[in-house]
């Protein structure tokens, strides 16, 4: 009998196993693929590894701006991919080491929920049955494949195929202008591939601040990426993509097509129907303690369908384990930071202007160019960027949105300010080290306090 059975070894699953075992629970974790889930093996980490190579290439090409002369700059696609594989292997090995704990049993197998028992639940992997007192479901998400005529796996990449490509395509059409689509657009564009992005919405990065998203699109347009917004793919015919934009029909031709229109929770294939658990918006419904409608069954990560982000999954797993241990803990989605690791980076947390208008909430905004930070000017020759802070009528920080490097490392400060319900004046009293790009937040707060 195990204290906790975990189905899925992604960020939520392996975090939960580690936290539970550290607190003395006997854990069994099932993962049919590699530990780390999509994030480590086919998403977050491999794409960021590729994007760092692309960023170095772009930096080398613009080195003359900084007084550095470099000649014969080129990229080796094979070596870039090989390094990505090495990074993934190293990090997977690190997670395996964490699972090598006396209280953790790790099985490389698909677990199936067989039944609810008097003492808990019966799981089966292969021909072996396992009894667990509590169950944590962390089965993650999968790519969405819309019913587009001509859409066949053999002629269209998903992110997984793009990450395992052997050769760089000369031209690439990306269907979907979300986070994943834009990161691949940035990577292949930096390497010299002709990139086209087709997006159904009026703007890319639909969940991010629309002004910031437009700034990134304008920057990428200057780099040669072609965008078709408010456009729908109606058919794929080999290398031809038929696109409808309003009343106009266009044909886009590309050597390779990458489909990136989103992901959905995985709720089938492991016997969930045995438990008759409530489903909400395609994912497993949970309360603030990450409990499902079956009190001894918890869920965390993408399978809940709420925030398909690895860092959200980690916190959800912590909340679930804490409650299993009898420690009162609740999940808060007030301040979930989002980052797009393009060049320049985009980051945001909290409410956007659009979301607040939809809710009818009064707010005011202060925007400052990132060039108000001396460190930014020193390290981003010719760059501009933007810092936007949104404040409510009570002066509480409601949202912060940034474009410019390295805003991925700055957004945590804003996340804490929103989560801790700080006012602009309270946050402005914090001391920021000088010179740092993060000082743009303090400069913006000072300007806001003297303009509102």
Structure confidence by residue, pLDDT tens digits, 318-358? 999 999 999 999 999 999 999 999 999 999 999 999 999 99
Domain formed by 153-261, architecture = 3-Layer(bba) Sandwich (3.50)
- The DSSP letter of residue 227 is E
Place of tokens 């408010």: 230
Do 20 and 150 contact (CB within 8 A), yes or no? no
Do 1 and 120 contact (CB within 8 A), yes or no? yes
Domain spans, the chain: 2-143+264-324, 153-261, 338-449
pTM to 2 decimal places:
0.94
Q: Which one of 101, 145, 280, 434 is the catalytic residue?
A: 434
Please identify, in words, the CATH class of the domain defined by 2-143+264-324. alpha beta
Where does 79-205 show beta strands of DSSP type E?
104-107, 112-116, 121-125, 128-137, 141-143, 171-175, 194-198
Peptide bond preceding 406 in cis form (omega within 30 of 0): yes
Edge-to-edge strand ranges of the sheet holding 397-403: 338-340, 346-350, 397-403, 386-392, 363-369
Res 452: pLDDT: 47
Q: Which residues contact 14 (CB under 8 A, 6 or more apart)?
A: 29, 35, 36, 95, 98, 99
Q: Which residues contact 161 (CB under 8 A, 6 or more apart)?
A: none
User: Could you tell me the two tokens for 317?
Assistant: 């797993």
CA distances from 11 to 34, 95, 297, 325 (A): 12, 10, 18, 20
Q: Which residues contact 428 (CB under 8 A, 6 or more apart)?
A: 442, 445, 446, 449
Q: Do domains 153-261 and 338-449 have the same CATH topology?
A: no
- Rounded distance, CA 105 to CA 109, Å? 12
Q: For residue 258, give the 3-state DSSP assignment.
A: strand
Res 39: pLDDT: 87
pLDDT digits (tens, 9 = 90+) for 99-143: 999 999 999 999 999 999 999 999 999 999 999 999 999 999 999
Res 246: pLDDT: 84
Res 451: pLDDT: 54
Res 400: pLDDT: 98
- Rounded distance, CA 92 to CA 70, Å? 36
Res 142: pLDDT: 93
Q: CATH fold of 338-449, please?
A: Enolase-like; domain 1 (3.30.390)
Place of tokens 């806001």: 448
Residues (pLDDT < 70) of the chain are: 448-452
434 is catalytic: yes
């Amino acid at each position: 009998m195990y204290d906790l059975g975990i189905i899925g070894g992604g960020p939520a699953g392996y975090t939960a196993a580690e936290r539970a075992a550290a607190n003395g629970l006997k854990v069994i974790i099932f993962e049919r693929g590699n530990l780390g889930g999509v994030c480590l093996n086919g998403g977050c980490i491999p794409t960021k590894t590729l994007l760092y190579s692309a960023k170095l290439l772009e930096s080398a090409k613009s080195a003359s701006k900084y007084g550095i002369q470099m000649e014969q700059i080129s990229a080796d696609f094979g070596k870039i991919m090989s390094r990505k594989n090495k990074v993934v292997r190293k990090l997977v090995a690190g997670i395996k080491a964490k699972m090598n704990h006396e209280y953790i049993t790790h099985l490389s197998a698909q677990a199936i929920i067989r039944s609810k028992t008097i003492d808990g639940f019966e799981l089966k992997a292969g021909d072996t049955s396992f009894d667990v007192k509590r169950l944590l479901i962390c089965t993650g998400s999968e790519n969405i494949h819309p019913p587009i005529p001509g859409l066949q796996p053999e002629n269209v990449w998903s992110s997984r195929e793009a990450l395992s490509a052997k050769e760089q395509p000369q031209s690439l059409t990306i269907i979907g202008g979300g986070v994943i689509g834009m990161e691949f657009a940035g990577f292949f564009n930096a390497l010299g591939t002709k990139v086209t992005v087709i997006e159904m919405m009026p703007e890319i990065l639909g969940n991010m601040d629309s002004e910031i998203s437009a700034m990134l699109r304008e920057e990428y347009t200057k780099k040669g990426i072609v965008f078709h917004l408010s456009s729908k793919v109606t058919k794929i015919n080999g290398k031809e993509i038929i696109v409808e934009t309003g009343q106009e029909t266009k044909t886009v031709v590309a050597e390779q097509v990458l489909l990136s229109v989103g992901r959905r929770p995985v709720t089938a294939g492991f016997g969930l129907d045995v438990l008759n658990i409530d489903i909400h918006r395609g994912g497993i419904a949970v309360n603030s303690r990450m409990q499902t409608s079956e009190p001894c069954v918890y869920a965390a990560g993408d399978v809940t369908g709420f925030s398909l982000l690895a860092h959200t999954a980690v916190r959800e797993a912590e909340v679930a384990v804490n409650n299993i241990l009898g420690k009162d803990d609740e999940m808060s989605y007030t301040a979930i930071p989002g980052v797009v690791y393009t060049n320049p980076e985009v980051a945001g947390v909290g409410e956007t202007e659009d979301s607040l208008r939809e809710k009818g909430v009064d707010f005011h905004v202060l925007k400052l160019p990132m060039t108000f930070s001396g460190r930014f000017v020193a390290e981003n020759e010719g760059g501009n960027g933007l810092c936007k802070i949104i404040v409510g009528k009570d002066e509480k920080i409601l949202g912060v949105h940034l474009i410019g490097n390295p805003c991925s490392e700055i957004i945590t400060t804003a996340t804490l300010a929103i989560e801790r319900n700080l006012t602009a004046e309270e946050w402005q009293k914090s001391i920021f080290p000088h010179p740092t790009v993060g000082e743009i937040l303090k400069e913006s707060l000072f300007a806001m306090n003297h303009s509102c």
